[in-house]
Amino acid sequence: MEDSKISSKKWYVIRSVSGQENKIKSYIEYEVARYNLEDYIEQVLVPTEKVVVERNGKKITRDRVYFPGYVMIQANLSGEIPHIIKSINGVIGFLGETPGGEPVPLRQREVNRMLGKVDELSTKDEMVNIPFTIGETVVVTDGPFRDFTGTIEKINEERRKLEIMVKIFDRKSPLELNYTQVKKI
């Protein structure tokens, strides 16, 4: 019996209220623990990606839901489990199910593509694709030298750093800053 539970776990997509994906994931995990369904529900996943946004003049990194309105679940949906999940506040239903029918699992190639995308997003190192060139004039937007203007002397792509020459008390001084700490003039 134990092996059949594990071998029959498939990936399903739950349609949810957009903007509440993480809350719904928490609710599902709570219900799994409450009803001791760990043998049936292996993982609940909300794919996210890192994005850089500017707030109040500062650049910050935050997670953004990659598939708004959807939560992925790897489970054996037998017995009352689909009903328990659908009764969670904010869950609309399962993607692809027909009224009164069973939830439709994802095809293996869809799962591979989805999980490959999730891995790519989680390992992607905040790639802020800001093309700077040596000799370009920039203004510092963050840190103790905020609002200083300088010229790019060196670019270190690997470390994602810039060496900028700024004038401090009429003397040129080099600064090493992240790409996100400067902006083009």
Q: Same domain, yes or no, for 90 and 7?
A: yes
- Residue 110's pLDDT band (boundaries 50, 70, 90)? confident
Assess whether 117 and 143 both reside in one domain: no
Q: Are 32 and 43 in contact (CB under 8 A)?
A: no
Same domain as 151, residue 110:
no
Residue 2 pLDDT exceeds 60: no
Stretch 9-17: mean pLDDT:
93
- Taking the C-alpha atoms of residue 124 and residue 141, their distance in angstroms, rounded to an integer, is 24
Q: In the sheet where 137-140 sits, what is the strand order? A: 171-178, 161-168, 149-156, 137-140, 182-184
> Are both 116 and 142 inside the same structural domain?
no
Question: Which domain range does residue 110 map to?
Answer: 2-123
In a domain, 131, yes or no: no
Quick check: 151 and 164 in contact, CB under 8 A?
yes
The verdict on residue 11 lying in a domain is yes
Are 105 and 148 in the same domain? no
Count of domains for the chain: 2
Residue 161: CATH number of its domain: 2.30.30.30
Q: Do 149 and 117 fall within a single domain? A: no
Q: Are residues 67 and 156 in the same domain?
A: no
Are both 56 and 98 inside the same structural domain?
yes
Greater confidence (105 vs 52) lies with 105
Does 5 have pLDDT greater than 50? no
Average pLDDT over residues 137-165: 88
The answer to whether residues 83 and 151 belong to one domain is: no
Band (pLDDT 50/70/90 cuts) for residue 170 is confident
**98, 123, 148 — which closes off a domain?**
123
Q: Average of pLDDT values for 58-68?
A: 82
Q: Is residue 143 part of a domain?
A: yes
Quote the pLDDT of residue 120.
Answer: 61
Which 3 state secondary structure label does DSSP give 79?
Answer: coil
Average pLDDT, the chain: 83
Residue 88: which CATH number? 3.30.70.940
Is residue 70 situated within a structural domain?
Answer: yes
Residue 150 phi/psi, 5° resolution? -150, 175
Whether 132 maps to a domain, the answer reads: no
Residues 45 and 99 occupy one common structural domain: yes
Residue 129 domain-assigned (yes or no): no
